[in-house]
Structure formats: structure tokens, C-alpha cells
Amino acid sequence: MKTDARHFGIQRQLRRSAAQKRARRVIGHALVYALMTALALLFMLPIFWMASTSLKLPREIFAWPPEWIPSTPQWGNYAEAFGKYPLARYMLNSAILVVANVIGGLISVPIIAYGFARFDFPFKHVLFLLMLSTMMVPGHIKLIPMFWLYQKLELIGTYWPLILPAYFGNPFFVFLMTQFIRTIPRELDDAARIDGAGAWGILYRIIIPLCRPALTVVVVFTFVWVWNDFLEPIIFLRDWDSYPISVGLAFFQGRYSVEWHLFMGATLVSIIPILVVYFFAQKHLIGGLASIGIKG
């Protein structure tokens, strides 16, 4: 009887301990999710304010105390913004530049990185360091010589100055891709050579399929950088109808004032493509950055 009572008491203590651990785990998870939700809402406040401002009348924008929800939402602000300037055309221009640059990056970056990671040739390490050193040069310093070069080639006023660099490889992406390819076992290359594959076959059948996380980083970063680029389109383009959306948004800023309600509405629409791309690519993007950081 005493043994049964002692055994029953031990089981009751174990169940109580397990229940306490589960309760602590649930409370801990609840606190973590509450903190993450609070931080997410804090970082989303600018977007909420942008959406609120886009639906206000001009006199309500700087009212005090501020109103997060307009009393009468002005949905016509969006139509007015897109009717005042050809924003749809500007977004199409940005999409053309993004697609051209993404294609250029997907063609050039794997080829250059594959050469650095898998082949031995004279001055390989010197050239790699030279390529990395270009990342230390501010982009603004290169604008004058690049403008002179494109002017000699009679490309000023066209999209070529904004597209051609992507087909010669971005040093940052080449570095990331090289580090990623170096983590792929060379035994896969040897097995492919035994099956009769050449260098190009190994690249397109073995290396590139295994580099999807790194290629996702290339695509997303290129998309964001090209979509938000403002300085280079201003310098290299001449025709108003050829400007991207990043330049088109600046038209809402006048000499003495800014049409904030129209500007916020147009800006909110312009960031939707970036949010959509990140929503669908975030899993591969985060995995690609983590794998590059760990393996590279």
C-alpha cells in the first residue's frame, strides 16, 4: 500500500511538473508573439500613416490632433494622382528596367561566379580582389566617367546605360554566388563529367539548380534596387515619358509645397510590387541569405 501511494505521489508530481512546463512554454510563446506583434505594428506605422494621408483632404493632413482614420475617405485621390501624371507609364518603365536587369543578372552572375569558384587561371585571386575592390568605390564617383562613356557611344537618353551594367555582373552578387558555389561538392562536377557533361552542362544542369537560394537573393535585391533607383535615371534619361516611377513620384513636390495626399497615394501604389515580390520570395530569400552567411 505504501509503495502504491509513493508511486502515485511520484506520478502526480511528474504530471504537475509537466503541466507547469507546458504552462511556462505557452506563456513564453505568448510573450514572444506579443512582442513580435508590437514590433511589427510599430514598424508598420509609417505605412498606416501613408494610407491614412492618401485618403485625406489637404486641410486634414496637418490637423492636430492627427486623425488616423479620415472622417470621409477621399478615394478619388488615387484617380487624381494617376490622372495628373502618367504614373502607370512610369511604373511600366520601371517594370521594363527591372526585367532587363534581372535577366542580365541571372545570365552574368552565375557565369562569372562559376569561373571564379571552379576554374584555375592566371591572376585569378588578383582579379577577384580587384573585383571586390570596386565595391569600395562610391557609385557617385563613377557617374561622370560613365556618362562620358555613354555619351561617346550615343546612348544618353536611352535605357541602355541603366541596363548594360547588369550584363557584366554586379560585384556584390558575384561574391555571394562565388561563395555559395564553393560550398557545392566538386564530386558532383566529377560525376557529371563522367556522364559526358562539359563545363556549360555542369553549370546549367548541376550548379544553377543548386543555387536557387542565391539566385533568389539576386532577383529580389535587383528588383528593389532598380525599382527604387532615382539618381541614374535622372542623369541618363532625357525624355519625360521614359522616366521610371521613382522619378515620377518626385513630380508631386513643387517649388514651394508638396501635394502630400496625392504623393502618399502614388507612393503607396508604387510599393505594392515590392511587397508582392517579397511576400512570395521571403522564404527563399531568408533561406538564401542564411545559407550564404553560414556556408560562405
Please tell me the number of Cα atoms within 13 Å of 25 on its side-chain side. Answer: 6
The residue type found at 160 is W
- Helix, strand or coil for residue 158? coil
Average pLDDT value for residue range 122-131: 89
The residue type found at 182 is R
- Using only C-alpha atoms, the chain has a radius of gyration, in whole angstroms, of 27
Q: What pLDDT, in 10s, does the model give residues 201-231?
A: 888 888 888 888 888 889 989 999 999 999 8
More confident: 282 or 124: 124
Q: What pLDDT, in 10s, does the model give residues 220-263?
A: 899 999 999 998 999 999 888 899 998 988 888 766 677 788 88
Burial 55-66 (b: 16+ CB within 10 A, else e): bbeeebbeeeee
Q: What pLDDT, in 10s, does the model give residues 180-192?
A: 888 888 888 888 8
Average pLDDT value for residue range 152-157: 90
User: DSSP code of 206?
Assistant: I
Give the cell for residue 150. Answer: 555613354
pLDDT exceeding 70 applies to what percent of the chain?
90
**pTM listed for this prediction:** 0.81
pLDDT value, residue 69: 81
- Helix, strand or coil for residue 218? helix
- Helix, strand or coil for residue 258? strand
- Judged against a pLDDT cut of 90, whether residue 96 lies above it is answered with yes
Per-residue pLDDT band for 6 (boundaries 50, 70, 90) equals low
Residues with Cβ within 8 Å of residue 148, at least 6 apart in sequence: none
pLDDT value, residue 294: 46
Could you tell me the CA-to-CA distances from 83 to 88, 171, 215, 240 in Å, in that order? 9, 40, 38, 16
Q: What pLDDT, in 10s, does the model give residues 259-294?
A: 788 888 888 888 888 888 888 877 766 665 555 544
Instruction: Burial-class residue 255 by CB neighbours within 10 Å (0-12, 13-18, 19+).
Output: exposed
Could you tell me the CA-to-CA distances from 105 to 96, 98, 111, 173, 224 in Å, in that order? 14, 10, 10, 8, 13
- Judged against a pLDDT cut of 70, whether residue 87 lies above it is answered with yes
Per-residue pLDDT band for 9 (boundaries 50, 70, 90) equals low
Most confident of 63-72, 99-108, 205-214: 99-108
Average pLDDT value for residue range 124-152: 88
